[in-house]
Amino acid sequence: MLIHLKRKATILKPDQSRVLLRPFNLGDPQRVGRIIARIMSLPEDQVGTLLDEVSAEFSQRHQQIRKLFLERFEQVRKLLSTDEKFSEQRKLLIGSYFLAEYSLESAALFNPSIVPHPDQSGLPTGALRFILSLRATGEGHISSITFRTGIIHADHRIEVQRPSGFLTEPRQIPNPRYEKALFERKLVELRLTNEFTRRVMQNLGDWFELEELAVKIQSELNESRQSEGLLEHQNTADGVWMVAKSNCEVQFQPDQELSERVIFPTTPSQRNGIEDARFVRFRNDDGTHVYYATFTAYDGRVVMPELVETSDFLRFRFITLNGPAAENKGMAVFPRKINGLYAMLSRQDNEYIHVMFSDNIHFWNERKAVLKPTFPWELIQIGNCGSPIETDAGWLVLSHGVGPLRKYCIGAFLLDRDDPAKVIGRLREPLLTPNQNEREGYVPNVVYTCGALLHNGELIIPYGLADHATGFATVPLDEVLAAMHKEDH
């Protein structure tokens, strides 16, 4: 059966001019103090002149730049052991010295996933508005999540809106609330339960805030100083605090365009990157929807699968995934519960695709292998390319396969709708292979996606090109299904 896959002309390339203002951390409070002392020695009239020059140079690249200068000054001021008075202009100038531009996409813009936009109003007949998430990689190979919006027209033409020239990080929700029972379960999973944590948790209510937790931890550490075991308790306290900080919430402002919103690594587990987010529009039991995204958090040493949740792409909640099956890369949530349970695809062993079920989206305890490398183009490893797509024929899953010379191709397989541990169909040949125009880039010979979308019988596949840029392809669903080899199970 011939498959008519069409590559679209639209290519999203990394744009080095899209820069984000981030803290310039020197790490040494004494050095910070010396730098501020030099700025304090400048005459007030020179301070004003310098501030005007800096503002004029950078205000066209960043919104509300003076507000950012002032916020950064207040952060730096906490490092100083002085009550010295600062003029408003000097505060702003000091703040400017401890900020730096970060080019979000200087290396790559790739590995996209696509979901329907929450707002489908005002569209032409047969069109669908979408949100595209992308992995942006910049200096130091640090990856973050950035967004685009666009429209799939009735004739399957893909229109991606031009991004804004500004970039903004969300504000941390200053004091998020935690559910005690869920938090304690996470501590058990991470083997952080002992007498110290029991004393901390017993004094907290069914719901508690971060500040309350901080007070209880410090109180117990103070008690520990009067007895043996302070070092052990400090290690436990650090672990509890890491769990709390890794389960956090952030908020963008409604007037910020979607393309301006950047989710940059913030939690301890993410400090070196948020990689390959797989977004899915999840239908709750009551018919409402929420968006989940699994992603790989990287702290510079260890990779961890994590989850982010949002209903509006303004407020995002980061959630740690726990349990013996919550490990490695490539987890992808099914778009609804199956037989009353959450379902997830995964690849814990770097080779096979597994399916998992759970009554709680935070915890994953068991896995079952459903697919192994079989064909020449995937003999090194296989994995999912995003969340399964529900069709009348079954759950359609795009997969990646790695073959000779580490060449990545995109394939597809089909799972039973009622029992997704059962494979009922599989493509013998790749659906998408890097062509001559797609081979060159940051990582040669790679096509890869983190999620496709089905619209009016057409499969819309955004995909990364050589880990550098992003393209689009479309293919009729019927042709993909007809080409599948039936699996015997």
Is residue 474 predicted with pLDDT exceeding 80?
yes
For the segment 296-314, the average pLDDT, to the nearest whole number, is 87
Which amino acid would we find at residue 301? R
Place of tokens 């666009």: 150
Buried b (16+ CB within 10 A) or exposed e, 12-35: bebeeebbbbeeeeeeeeeebeeb
What whole-number distance in Å separates Cα of residue 285 and Cα of residue 415?
22
Task: Specify the DSSP element, H or E, that contains 458.
Answer: strand 458-465
Query: What is the separation of C-alpha 142 from the centre of its chain, rounded to a whole number of angstroms?
Result: 12
In tens, the pLDDT along 92-140 reads 999 999 999 999 999 999 999 999 999 999 999 999 999 999 999 999 9
What proportions of the chain, in percent to the nearest 5, are helix, strand and coil? 25, 35, 40
User: 6-14+104-171+248-486 adopts what CATH topology?
Assistant: Tachylectin-2; Chain A (2.115.10)
- When pLDDT is cut at 50, 70 and 90, the band that residue 465 belongs to is very high
What whole-number distance in Å separates Cα of residue 266 and Cα of residue 102?
15
- When pLDDT is cut at 50, 70 and 90, the band that residue 307 belongs to is very high
- CA distance to 101, 104, 467, per residue, from 16 (Å): 11, 7, 16
Cβ neighbors of 35 (< 8 A, separation 6 or more) are: 26, 97
- Residue 229: the pLDDT is 61
Percent share of the chain, pLDDT over 90: 76
What whole-number distance in Å separates Cα of residue 292 and Cα of residue 280?
5
Per-domain residue ranges of the chain: 6-14+104-171+248-486, 19-103, 174-246
Q: With contact defined as beta carbons under 8 Å apart, do 201 and 225 qualify?
A: no
Which of residues 240 and 350 earns the better pLDDT score? 240
| pLDDT, averaged across the chain | 92
Q: Which stretches does DSSP call E strand in 321-391? A: 329-333, 342-347, 353-358, 368-371, 381-384, 389-391
Q: With contact defined as beta carbons under 8 Å apart, do 139 and 102 qualify?
A: yes
Q: Which residue, 456, 453, 480, 484, is CA-closest to 390?
A: 453
Residue 256: CA atoms inside 13 Å, Cβ hemisphere, count? 23
Structure tokens at 127: 């069109």
For the segment 162-178, the average pLDDT, to the nearest whole number, is 89
Which amino acid would we find at residue 116? P
Cβ neighbors of 85 (< 8 A, separation 6 or more) are: none
- When pLDDT is cut at 50, 70 and 90, the band that residue 228 belongs to is low
What whole-number distance in Å separates Cα of residue 303 and Cα of residue 296?
6
Percent share of the chain, pLDDT over 70: 98
Is residue 456 predicted with pLDDT exceeding 80?
yes
- When pLDDT is cut at 50, 70 and 90, the band that residue 79 belongs to is confident
In tens, the pLDDT along 378-392 reads 999 999 999 999 999
Q: In what order do the strands lie in the sheet with 315-320?
A: 171-172, 249-251, 315-320, 303-310, 289-298, 274-283
DSSP code at position 261: B
Which of residues 119 and 227 earns the better pLDDT score? 119
Cβ neighbors of 386 (< 8 A, separation 6 or more) are: 113, 278, 280, 332, 398, 449, 450, 451, 452
In tens, the pLDDT along 17-60 reads 999 999 999 878 889 989 999 999 999 999 999 999 999 999 99
- Residue 489: the pLDDT is 53
What whole-number distance in Å separates Cα of residue 234 and Cα of residue 250?
28
Which of residues 189 and 293 earns the better pLDDT score? 293
State the helix-helix crossing angle for 230-246 and 210-224, rounded to 10 degrees. 170
- When pLDDT is cut at 50, 70 and 90, the band that residue 227 belongs to is low
Q: With contact defined as beta carbons under 8 Å apart, do 263 and 274 qualify?
A: yes
- Residue 340: the pLDDT is 97
Q: The pTM is what?
A: 0.92
Q: Which residue, 304, 327, 326, is CA-closest to 246?
A: 304
- When pLDDT is cut at 50, 70 and 90, the band that residue 257 belongs to is very high
